[in-house]
Every structure is written in C-alpha cells, then in structure tokens.
Amino acid sequence: MAVPVILDCDPGHDDAFNILLAAAHPAVDLLAITTVAGNQTVEKTTLNARRVCAVAGIEGVPIAAGRSRPLHGAPLVGENIHGGSGLDGPGFGEGEPDVPQDQRDALTLIRDTLLAHPAPVTLVPTGPLTNVATFLLAHPELTHRIERIVLMGGSTGRGNTTPAAEFNILCDPEAADIVFSSGRPVTMFGLNATHQVRATPDVVSRIAALGTPLSRLCVRLLTYFTTAYREVYGLDAPPLHDPLTVAHLIDPSVVSLVRAAVTVELAGTYTRGATVVDLDGVTGRPANAEVGMEVDVPAFWDLIVEAVRVLGARTDRTPSAS
Ligand code: BDR
Ligand code: CA
C-alpha cells in the first residue's frame, strides 16, 4: 500500500524535486503540501509550491501556507542558494499558477488531513521545523495519527550555514528540538547523507534527454542550483538534499540508517542549531532518531529521473503544457 504523506516544505530547488518525486511515484500517496518560511518568505514558498504543481500537472493536492517566522528570533532566508524568488532559474513569470492556495492555514490542513485519513500519516518536513513543532504543541491529541516524521535537516558532522549548523535546523533550532524530543519516530537525512547525491552534468543530461517541457524546466532549476553552489561553496555539482526523504519512503534500501541520540544545540556561542549526533553512544542518551548514512547514489538518481519522465509524459499530453 502507498505511504500516505504530508510534505511540509519551503521550495526551494531541492524541495521542488521532492514534490515531483512524491507526486509521481505510486509508492507514495501525497495527501497535502504545507509551506513554511525558509528558503524564502512563506508567501514565496507557497507560490513556488503552487507553481511546481502547476507545471507538473499535480492536481487535487491541497497546498496551505504555514508559519512566516521561527518560534524565536528573526527569520533567515536562503536567498544566496535559491535566489530572490526562492526558485530562481526557470523564470515562472508574473502570472498566477492554475493550482490554487488552500484557504486553510497549514496547521488546520495538517489536522484535517490526519483526521480524514483512515491510517496514520507520515510527515515529511524539508524546511525549518516551525509548522511541525507548532502542530505537535497545539495538537497533542493527534500525535498518534502521525506515523513518523521523515525530515531533511542537520548533519552528523559539519554544517552549511555556519560551520556547525545546517540551514533548516538553524532557521528554527527550538522547533527542531521539539520535533527530536517529541517521542514520535524521527528519521533524519542530514548533510552527511545528502552531500552524496550531487546533480552532476551526467544527471542533468539524463533529465535533459527526456525532452519534455517539464524536463527542460528541471534542467533550468538544476543549472541555477549548480551555479549557486559553485559560487557559495565552490562545489562542482549541487547536493539535491530534500528528495532523500521521499526516496527513503519509496525504497528504504536507498539510504542506510543507524539509530542514535540526536540533540539540538540551542545555546552555543558558535554552534547554535547544530545537531549533536551520538553515533558512538558515548553520552548514554537513548536513541531518539534514525539517521541516514550511506546512499545508493545510482538508485536515488534513477528515482528522480523516472519521476520527471512520468510527470513530463503526463503533462506533455495536456494542452496547457508549454
Ligand atoms: C536545506 O536547506 C535548503 O537550502 C534546502 O532546501 C534544504 O532543505 C539544506 O541545508
Ligand atoms: Ca528545503
């Protein structure tokens, strides 16, 4: 049976590919998309989620906007990586996408979706954890309807936004602390895993060879992402972080997991937002998460290319594709 999923995201180039993967693959039942401030403001990430769904022909999946700022402090944005729109590269134009914004807020949409679905639902956050933490605090009576939380964030080692902290966790460390301490099963895909999946020229060529309007748009996204990662980090090919979450749901053999105690640094002068992952069990703290480690990189890219192929073939047959 397909895994019922709510994506909570901040598109974002890599979030966009995660939406495509979740919508395309029959092993996933994409019930709802909620958005959060992160890579850009929540207004922009919501518009971007609608744009991605519109160009990919993803219909009937409600999209609702969530929190515009973290639980504490000022919002960060990822403009240096994702651009002024949050999804720079393709040039979506000024027009409104055909896919509407759900008028409920993200928390209400999550609540309604959990209540309506007969089985517990997997939450997949790929942005700051503000919506998820707020939901856990607001609705303790519904947490048993959350099967598990499979997130992109953190790292077993170094960060990317400070030397210690990864972007999603640094945006809202208090929210991340609430999620990791929630008692719900948490699976974390951090930079140590996501930096294994680089969108190399080979990968981009495979997507280009699909020859559909959607594949051309994906190439433009990856081209922008490549330039940004080269300029900011000096990397030749950008890591496509977020889709490791859904790839894991589709095929658990894509990433190996270890159980470990994960805590979030809330105070450190230089290390706020770091995920402290006790891989060696030296703290004696009980494991509270599964942590992604080694990735089957070819299997991951096969899933991504196939998702773009499947959705591209569908939209290629519709008159609105351009
Ligand atoms: C994470 O931050 C954002 O730039 C990406 O979308 C990803 O979720 C990587 O640190
Ligand atoms: Ca993201």
User: What are the distances in angstroms from CA 159 to CA 42, 177, 191, 228, 275?
Assistant: 23, 17, 7, 17, 9
Instruction: Tell me if 69 is assigned to some domain.
Output: yes
Two structure tokens written together for 165: 């902290």
On whether residue 210 sits in a domain, the answer given is yes
Q: Do residues 90 and 83 make contact, with C-beta atoms less than 8 angstroms apart?
A: no
Range of the domain at 85: 3-314
Residues listed for the chain: 322
Task: Give the phi and the psi of residue 284 in degrees, each rounded to 5.
Answer: 75, 0
- Does 248 reside within a domain? yes
| pLDDT reported for residue 94 | 81
Q: Where are the alpha helices (DSSP H) in 141-264?
A: 167-171, 173-180, 191-194, 201-208, 213-233, 244-250
Number of domains in the chain: 1
With the most atoms of ligand 1 within 8 angstroms of its CB, the residue from 9, 10, 18, 48 to mutate is 10
Q: Indicate whether 290 belongs to any domain.
A: yes
Domain contains 319? no
99 lines ligand 1 (CB under 6 A): no
Say which residue the tokens 């403009």 belong to: 79
**The pLDDT value given to residue 93:** 80
Q: Tens digits of per-residue pLDDT, 91-121?
A: 888 889 999 999 999 999 999 999 999 999 9
Please tell me whether residue 278 adopts helix, strand or coil conformation: strand
Confirm whether 321 is domain-assigned.
Answer: no
Catalytic residue numbers? 241
Give domain status of residue 15, yes or no: yes
State the CATH number of the domain containing residue 182: 3.90.245.10
Residue ranges with CB less than 5 Å from ion ligand 2: 10, 12, 15, 126-127, 242
Tell me phi and psi for residue 42, to 5 degrees.
-65, -30
pLDDT tens, position by position, 26-45? 999 999 999 999 999 999 99
pLDDT of residue 95: 86
Q: Which two tokens stand for residue 244?
A: 């490791």
Q: Is this structure's pTM higher than 0.85? A: yes
Model pLDDT, residue 114 = 98
In a domain, 291, yes or no: yes
168 CB under 6 A from ligand 1? yes
Segments of the chain with pLDDT less than 50: 319-322
